[in-house]
Amino acid sequence: MIQYAVLIAIFQLPRVELRIKVINNPEILHSKDCLPFLFKFLNNFYDCRYNDFFMSLVYIINNIKRDRFLEAHSDFLLHQYRFIAYEQFLRPYKSVKLENMSKEFGLSRNFLEKDLCNYITEGVLHCDIDTVDAIVTVKRYYR
């Protein structure tokens, strides 16, 4: 149950609540020794170590594909985990060079550009990509 709670909380809870309700939760911390890969994944995301987060994501997705309850949702979960990492990375910036972002995530520039384009066309990631100058420009929407 703790594994399911952590896997879902990562993309459902805002960063502050994630720390309070998951990372510092005594019941969840009690399971840290039983699920070290899960806590590594969680801490890499929370600490903004995106390259490590993506590397641990490979392991997590392989475990999800072996889980009889989550297997059917593995593509959705992979999609969501990549999205939250991109969104968290881009949030403080007005613009960022695609090359810098690809180094931070440990991804090729071409893969990153295509992946970001998918999220942009879905309407969930609010930014533009200038392919000539290789810059990602974040759009801010204020209410």
**Which tokens hold the place of 18?**
């994630």
Count of CB atoms within 10 A of residue 10's CB?
A: 22
Q: What percent of the chain has pLDDT over 90?
A: 72
Domains recognised in the chain with CATH numbers: 1-92 (no CATH), 93-143 (1.10.10.10)
pLDDT of residue 86: 96
Contact residues for 84 (Cβ-Cβ < 8 A; gap 6+) = 10, 11, 45
Tens of pLDDT, residues 25-59: 888 888 888 888 889 999 999 999 999 999 999 99
pLDDT of residue 141: 61
Tens of pLDDT, residues 112-123: 999 999 999 999
Q: Which DSSP helix (H) or strand (E) runs through 65?
A: helix 50-66
As a residue count, the chain comes to 143
